[in-house]
Amino acid sequence: MTGARHLYVHLPFCASRCGYCDFVTVVGRQGQHRAYVDALLGELALERETLAPQLESVFLGGGTPTLIEPRELERLLRALPGALEVTVEANPETVTPGLAELLRDCGVTRVSLGAQSFQLRLLEVLERRGSPDDVRRAVYAFRDANFDNVSLDLIYGIPGQSTADLEADLNDALALEPEHLSCYELEAKRGTRFTHAHGAELAGQAEAMETYFERVVVRLTGAGYRWYETANFCRTPTLADGRDLRSRHNLAYWRGRDYLGLGIGAVSTIQGRRWKTTPRLGTYLTALAAGERPPRELEELPVPVRQSERVLLGLRLDEPLSLAGLEGALDAAAVERLEGLGLVARGAAGAELALTDRGRLLGGGVTAELLA
């Protein structure tokens, strides 16, 4: 039995909460950064045996990982096991040359920067603290610290965003020559302050913004990026000295690999069991201070569920999904029908399945239909 090769570490602290965000975040509480890092390391010690001796990827997500006290961040990074790819998420306004160097010195190989938009007006709608220039400064800081794998997050479908605004954002992002881009459509998630304020407006403009996804794909692939996952793009190897710039860590999710998650609200999936750690900071700290595992919500994943997940995750990628062992998860008649519509394609004499480009634009509905 080999352990999980992928480790996620959640750092929930934020300077303020963005209206659209539904992640587990904690505003303020600087005083608890140290205790939280202690708790993470305590949890890691408790879970160490679920991990493989050598990790492939580590991902520090948030929250705002770069908001944490630099001393504490350094202590955490140095204590975490090393990996081929170590990613840290950063908010532009928190990035300084010093921070960039610290990350580099601690073995971080990749940074993911939450740019979201290059227009102040739209950033304000999103309640983001950083400005477009903060994004640029942050990218330069990482470049100066010799980071050769920088990813930018963009959000499209923001209330009031015209197609010209979208094109401008894409152009501004491309001008920074990132190795990787993640582009998400803004979701009005239930219960968020944003949905309360803008939900109706967002629903109203849904039809007008229906083409935005397609525009993003066309613009980025036209600029030499590989659309390797529904919402993720990376420079093609020919434009990157032959490097494969896909996120190793996220590829693990989409390929159905096991992963361990540390921190409040973090999810782990190992050996057919999934659990989510308590989202409550106090509960988490108390349990680990006592050397105990924090409370978790456990979900057993029976074989058919695992198979469905393999399909729904695998079809997000631009590589064909091997159907070996997944036959029961698919509705054969639907496969036939969707193939007829040019939305899916079977390869390797029926042993593989992939979505066509148009099928990928409709990936959610297509997958719902494909599943038995």
Partner 1 sequence: MDQNRIRNFSIIAHIDHGKSTLADRILEVTDTVTGRDMRAQVLDSMELERERGITIKAQAVRVAWKGHQLNLIDTPGHVDFTYEVSRSLQACEGALLVVDAAQGIEAQTVANAYLAIENNLEILPVVNKIDLPQADPDAAGAEIAELVGEDPDRVVRISAKTGEGIEAVLDAIVERIPPPAGDPEASARALVFDSSYDQYRGVVAFVRVVDSSFSRGEPVRAMAQGTRFEAEEVGFFSPTMVAADALRAGEVGYVITGLKDVSKLRVGDTLTSERRPAAEPVPGYEDVKPMVFAGLFPTDSDDYPELRDALERLKLNDAALFYEPETSQALGFGFRCGFLGLLHMEIVRERLEREFDLDLLVTAPNVAYRVVTKAGDEVEVHNPSDMPSEIERVDEPYIKASIIVPKDYVGPVMELNTERRGSFDHMEYLSEQRVLLVYELPLAEIVLDYYDQLKSRTRGYASFDYDLIGFRVGDLTRVDVLLAGEPVDALSLIVHRDGAYARGRALVDRLREEIPRQFFDVPVQAAIGSRVIARETIKAKRKDVLAKCYGGDISRKRKLLERQKKGKRRMKQVGSVEVPQDAFLAVLNLDGPKKDGQKK
Q: Write out the residues near partner 1 by the rule CB under 8 A.
A: 8, 184-185, 187, 210-214, 230-231, 250, 253-254, 259, 261, 265-269, 274, 276, 299, 305, 308-309, 312-313, 316, 337-338, 340-341, 343, 360-369, 371
Nearest approach in angstroms of CB 258 to partner 1 is: 10
* Beta carbons of 42 and 293 less than 8 angstroms apart: no
Nearest approach in angstroms of CB 79 to partner 1 is: 21
* Beta carbons of 245 and 234 less than 8 angstroms apart: yes
Residue number with CB closer to partner 1 (33 or 316): 316
Residue number with CB closer to partner 1 (59 or 99): 59
Residue 345's φ and ψ, nearest 5 degrees, are: -135, 135
Q: Is the peptide bond before 63 cis (omega within 30 degrees of 0)?
A: yes
Beta bridge partners of 321: 353
Nearest approach in angstroms of CB 260 to partner 1 is: 10
Rounded-to-integer distance, Cα 343 and Cα 228, Å: 17
Quick one: tokens of 202? 């967002």
Nearest approach in angstroms of CB 291 to partner 1 is: 26
Residue number with CB closer to partner 1 (30 or 211): 211
Rounded-to-integer distance, Cα 161 and Cα 200, Å: 15
DSSP sequence for 254-319: HTT--BEEESTT-EEEETTEEEEE-S-HHHHHHHHHTT-PPPEEEEE--HHHHHHHHHHHHTTBSS
Residue number with CB closer to partner 1 (22 or 177): 22
Residue number with CB closer to partner 1 (119 or 308): 308
Residue number with CB closer to partner 1 (341 or 348): 341
Residue number with CB closer to partner 1 (119 or 277): 277
Quick one: tokens of 257? 């690999």
Nearest approach in angstroms of CB 360 to partner 1 is: 8
Rounded-to-integer distance, Cα 284 and Cα 79, Å: 19
Residue number with CB closer to partner 1 (168 or 312): 312
Rounded-to-integer distance, Cα 25 and Cα 10, Å: 9
Site of tokens 């913004």: 209
Nearest approach in angstroms of CB 311 to partner 1 is: 9
Residue number with CB closer to partner 1 (100 or 277): 277
Residue number with CB closer to partner 1 (6 or 75): 6
Nearest approach in angstroms of CB 71 to partner 1 is: 28
Nearest approach in angstroms of CB 367 to partner 1 is: 6
Rounded-to-integer distance, Cα 68 and Cα 47, Å: 23
Residues 6+ apart with CB under 8 A from 1: 271
2: left (phi over 0), alpha (psi -120 to 50) or beta: beta
101 closest CA partner among 46, 45, 145, 50: 145
* Beta carbons of 155 and 216 less than 8 angstroms apart: no
Nearest approach in angstroms of CB 213 to partner 1 is: 5
Nearest approach in angstroms of CB 255 to partner 1 is: 12
